Amino acid sequence: MVMLTRHHPMTKEVLVDRFDFVIIGAGPAGEAATYEARARGASVAVIDRDLFGGVCPFWGCIPSKSLLHAADLHAAGGDYPWSRASDRRDYMINREGIDYPSDAGHVKALEGAGATVIRGEASLTGPGRVTIRHDGATHEIEAANVIIGVGSTSKVPSIDGIQTIRTWTNKDATATRELPRSLLVLGGGPTGVELAQVFARYGVPTTVVQSGSRLIPSDHPRNAEAAKRTLERDGVTIRLGVRAVKATAGAGTDGADVVTLDDGSTVEGHATLLSVGRTFPLQGLGLETIGLDPSARDGVPRDGRLRIADGVYLVGDPAGPEMHTHQAHYQGQVAVRMALGDAVEPDYRALPRATYTDPELAYVGLDLEAAREQGIDALEFVADFANTAKGYSVEADFGHVTIVVDRARRELVGAAIAAPDASAAIHECVLAIRARVPLHVLADTIHAFPSTSRILNGLFDEAVKAIPTPG
């Protein structure tokens, strides 16, 4: 870590350090931007007030996947008690024997790349100027370009009494060393679904409340149904189409907190995981000094275009259009390339989504309804995973592989998979959509048998046969 304010030895003039890039926030987007800029020879100052590396390696992706793996082995009868799962999670997040994780590895790597690393609070004070506050000092630096990648935090819903009960953020859920006696999950998105499976598989009575008509509403409908089926298989109670309206501390069974739903029924939990969305910490960053109002509903664009003002880029969760670590990493790199004059712009046509339950769920592109709403003459082809060679081999009793094709262009425009290796298998479809690979090439490509990708191969062949060759 460094102090940047310097004074001229012969005068009282403060010498302001200047960088090609000042990066506020050192999560996946900020780190990716730092490494891309340094690889291009640009000077970089990267600033974070908390953990370098961000949420993903310490409170999000890495600990949750570690716990999902442990819960999978435990559910299968393996020797994987919660104490072992907790210890392994602590190892994964550099928290062995301490309360808070160490980010020393991330700091060392950034400094090794040649970046100036600063732990502190940063805000814009005008075009190309950033003020940093740390260790009781305040100083200013100049930047040709500013990249903002401050991530997001768990949203607290407006529920009467919510402040009186024992709530968890995703950080609390992935970091806990003790199992709760029961768990209530408000929100059925990927985080809520994954963590519900973890705790249910460790014997915690778990209930998921989702205001919409299905789980994981941003995913493919068949994946949503697979998520419901897998959670119910593990004993999770699922309440769809209802919304929490009131919370009462300690009024339930064995001192559980009680949450009243808008249909008059109640649900209980000794801990309540808030998984109803994310908020973006854009206040206090000085955006108003460059003509933006973060307090206004549309004050800061979230369309994923990245450039929000001259020389200023927004990346990661606050940038939109969705929220994924891999999207953040991509945006960090693209923002630097845009700033350095490359003829590029973000392309989200082939943005993969993955939920790492058992079985995994993966989705890219458009479903049939969305494709047709965009005016595409679309066809859908579906394979029942349980009735495939791969499904038989792993004793699957449900799952699917689905593709959506553009009849006119004879190209893939969407795919969804619910299968044990969905997050890996989907990437053939990601590349096919990104590169606009013709259907006949996909169908004529040799796929290993009996893989999930081989199921895709059969669907590609079916699609080619269903669409007459032009001319």
Does residue 77 lie within any of the structural domains?
Answer: no
Task: Out of 248, 276, 304, pick the residue that ends a domain.
Answer: 276
Task: Out of 250, 276, 302, pick the residue that ends a domain.
Answer: 276
13 and 146 inside one domain = yes
Task: Out of 238, 260, 276, pick the residue that ends a domain.
Answer: 276
Residue 471: per-residue pLDDT: 63
Does residue 82 lie within any of the structural domains?
Answer: no
441 and 373 inside one domain = yes
Phi, psi angle pair for 426, to nearest 5°: -65, -20
The position carrying tokens 């013709």 is 438
367 and 445 inside one domain = yes
Residue 298: per-residue pLDDT: 86
CA distance 311 to 341: 11
Does residue 314 lie within any of the structural domains?
Answer: yes
457 and 363 inside one domain = yes
Does residue 41 lie within any of the structural domains?
Answer: yes
Q: What is the DSSP string of 383-443?
A: EEGGGSHHHHHTT-SS-EEEEEEETTTTEEEEEEEEETTHHHHHHHHHHHHHHT-BHHHHH
10 and 143 inside one domain = yes
Does residue 39 lie within any of the structural domains?
Answer: yes
Does residue 84 lie within any of the structural domains?
Answer: no
Residue 4: per-residue pLDDT: 52
Of 100, 139, 197, the C-alpha closest to 2 is 139
Residue 468: per-residue pLDDT: 84
Q: Residue 115: CB partners within 8 Å, gap ≥ 6? A: 34, 38, 44, 45, 46
Does residue 81 lie within any of the structural domains?
Answer: no
The position carrying tokens 């991330």 is 106
433 and 461 inside one domain = yes
144 and 286 inside one domain = yes
227 and 180 inside one domain = yes
Dihedral angle at the C-alpha atoms of 283, 289, 293, 294, nearest 10 degrees? -20
Residue 390: per-residue pLDDT: 98
Number of domain units in the chain: 3
pTM of the predicted structure, to 2 decimals: 0.94
CATH number at residue 375: 3.30.390.30
310 and 413 inside one domain = no
125 and 222 inside one domain = no
45 and 138 inside one domain = yes
What domain range is 47 assigned to?
A: 6-54+103-152+280-339
Does residue 346 lie within any of the structural domains?
Answer: no
CATH number at residue 208: 3.50.50.60
136 and 174 inside one domain = no
- Tens-binned pLDDT, residue by residue, of the chain (471 aa): 554 544 344 434 444 699 999 999 999 999 999 999 999 999 999 999 999 999 999 999 999 999 999 999 999 999 999 999 999 999 999 999 999 999 999 999 999 999 999 999 999 999 999 999 988 899 899 999 999 999 999 999 999 999 999 999 999 999 999 999 999 999 999 999 999 999 999 999 999 999 999 999 999 999 999 999 999 999 999 999 999 999 999 999 999 999 999 999 999 999 999 999 999 999 999 999 999 999 998 899 999 999 999 999 999 999 999 999 999 999 999 999 999 999 999 999 999 999 999 999 999 999 999 999 999 999 999 999 999 999 999 999 999 999 999 999 999 999 999 999 999 999 999 999 999 999 999 999 999 999 999 999 999 999 999 998 876
Q: What is the DSSP string of 156-185?
A: ----BTGGGS-EE-HHHHHH-SS--SSEEE
State the CB neighbour count (10 A cutoff) for residue 198: 27
